[in-house]
Structure 1
Amino acid sequence: MTPERFALLTRRHRQCLRGVKALMGSKEIAAELGLGKSTVDSYLAEAVRLLGARNRREAALALAEFEAQDSGQDTENPAKTDPSKIIPDSTGLSSEPNPVPRPTAPDGSTVGGAVQDGHVHASPRLPLPFRRRGQLRNDMTVAERLLWVPMIAIALAVGFGMLATGLDVLTRVIGRMSHLAG
């Protein structure tokens, strides 16, 4: 696995993989990070896919080895963690290793980010105007919040217009049916 693949991992991916390395289950990782179990499973599945690993165990061990090499430490102490005890291969995340090609678009964007000068930059994501499960707070800037105000107003106006039109059509249909029946 190349350093570029590890650069695609977010802070949450890394935290979840470190939990797997520490022999923790999804529920334990979720409790420690303040997330839901399904959210942890999603982070782990995405990390497995981004790294091209067979399963969460292999991804966790690869991250640990990468971080040990990156920080100049010795590789993991096998007496400390027996790899066979880390969540078994039958986790259902991936049954066989399938190398993930990094698809690129003309603008250089890839899965999880754009590669520029050998560095991976995260793709811009649209921040939502509410706090999602697992977030401590909403990290939107004032400008992003101000952009959401007209977007929400337009969506409400369109929705109200559709409701009014639907009720008008329904009223006309009922009026014609009662006129034909009477």
Structure 2
Amino acid sequence: MGDDRLDKLTDGQRACLRMVFAHMSSKEIARELKISSHTVDQRLRSAMQLLSVASRVEAARLLAAHEGAGAYQSSVYQPPYIAPAAEEPMIGPSVDQGAGQQLTGQSDAVKEEQLAYEAAPAPTPPKRGYMLPIPTSGRKRNDLDWKRRLTWIVAIAMLSALSFGMLLAGLDALSRLV
């Protein structure tokens, strides 16, 4: 393909294609260029049409080859911000310990650097006794097995029938009093 087609690309199309080459989505490109994602898609469609290619990746590869950007890198997910490696905890005795503590090498005080390495208390497992059919703290909404769910359905039905029977008995007793 001739370089004349690549020379006809606008600066906006070139910027979008460069970012496609860097594996950015339309939303990320729009955020970077401070334009609408629809504008990004329109620029990429017109660039694809101008270059007579079927995908935006092919158009980005052509532009990168024309500009000498190097070989195309495969799409491997790498997070944009990688956390730094954690520092080693300081386990030895503190420098500002008293004379008696220096001899034994033990200290009750925790250094500021060691605060992140203290063990968190173990979470208490939920009780498996009477599990209510409603969400409570530490439990999801529908975490009952089918046996417990069926038990709750039968218990609620029996309590409803008993309550309705007591209501009828009370109304019968009131009608006899009058």
- Give the TM-score range, shorter chain: 0.3 to 0.5
Question: Given the two structures, how large is their TM-score scaled by the length of structure 1?
Answer: 0.40
Structure number with larger C-alpha Rg: 2
Determine which structure has greater relative contact order: mean sequence separation of CA pairs < 8 Å that are 6+ residues apart, divided by chain length.
1
Question: Given the two structures, how large is their TM-score scaled by the length of structure 2?
Answer: 0.41
